[in-house]
Amino acid sequence: MAVAAFVLLPMLLVVVMSFGEGTSLRFPPSAFTLDSYAAYVTRPDWMQPTLNSFVIALASAAITLLVTTPAAFAFALFDFPGKRLVRLMIMMPLMVPFIVMALAYFFFFGRTGLLNTMTGVVIAHACLSVPIVFLIQSANLKSFDWTLMRASASCGAGPLTSFRHVALPLLRPSFLVAGLFAFITSFDETVIALFISGRAASTLPRRMFESVRQESDPVVAVVSTLLFVVVVVAALAVAWRQSRKQ
């Protein structure tokens, strides 16, 4: 209970501040109002980064799944020269500090014309998500019963038909989990976005960071509260679903 209180207390303070009156963050609030919530949904400087973050996260999750799914199947089914080295290279984004990756992307995208663009942020976030998604998919493929695919092939089904009707229904939960992790990784990323997103492709975490550093806009407490509520609702939904299964 003490650990839970230590973790949740700062978030509860932010929730209280989100209802405060004034033009800056203050605790305790002098009065309670919904003005900050109204400002969040009506101000383009907050809504546009929010929309950008959703678009970037969805695009990066889709690209990550398209890249890592064939790779995970190749690692699960085949042995080839340099397999360990390739796996190490896939895991590199987990080993390199984000600030180093941000500098690398800044200079590389500056030369390729992708700096300060949505495309550049999507590519960077997809690369960041690759090792996480690859690990999730590889772990699930290790426990997959490949005799089902061979049985399907013995009945005359081609590789794509076997994958679509046999493997995909069984592996769909792992794909969804992997895609969710890729989405969260992109949506929550701040350091790389600060270096390469720019004003035109600003993300919500970047906007929150700038708000706290430059102006202490109370809307940042509103965004934090909404994200906290989404996480709590999702956790309760999962717990309720698990209890229904039991």
Cβ contact 68:134 at 8 Å:
yes
Task: Examine residue 146 and state whether it is found in any structural domain, yes or no.
Answer: yes
What amino acid is encoded at 207 in this protein?
A: R
- Asked if 202 contacts 194 with a C-beta cutoff of 8 angstroms, the reply is no
Say what the pLDDT of residue 241 is.
Answer: 75
Assess if residue 87 is contained within a domain: yes
Give the pLDDT score at 176.
87
CATH number at residue 174: 1.10.3720.10
- Give the pLDDT confidence score for residue 170 in this predicted structure: 77
C-beta atoms surrounding 179 within 10 Å: 18
At 162-189, the pLDDT tens digits run 777 777 777 788 888 888 899 999 998 8
Place of tokens 């970047």: 206
Indicate the angle between helix axes 168-188 and 44-77, nearest 10 degrees.
140
- Give pLDDT < 50 ranges for the chain: none
Please give the model's pTM, rounded to 2 decimal places: 0.86
Give the residues across from 8 on adjacent strands. Answer: none
Report the distance separating Cα 174 and Cα 132, nearest Å.
Answer: 12
Domain count for the chain, please give it. Answer: 1
117 half-sphere exposure, CB direction, 13 A CA radius: 11
Cβ partners under 8 Å of residue 30, min gap 6: 20, 21, 22
Residue 202 forms part of a structural domain: yes
Considering the domain boundaries, does residue 74 fall inside one? yes
Domain residues for 182? 46-215
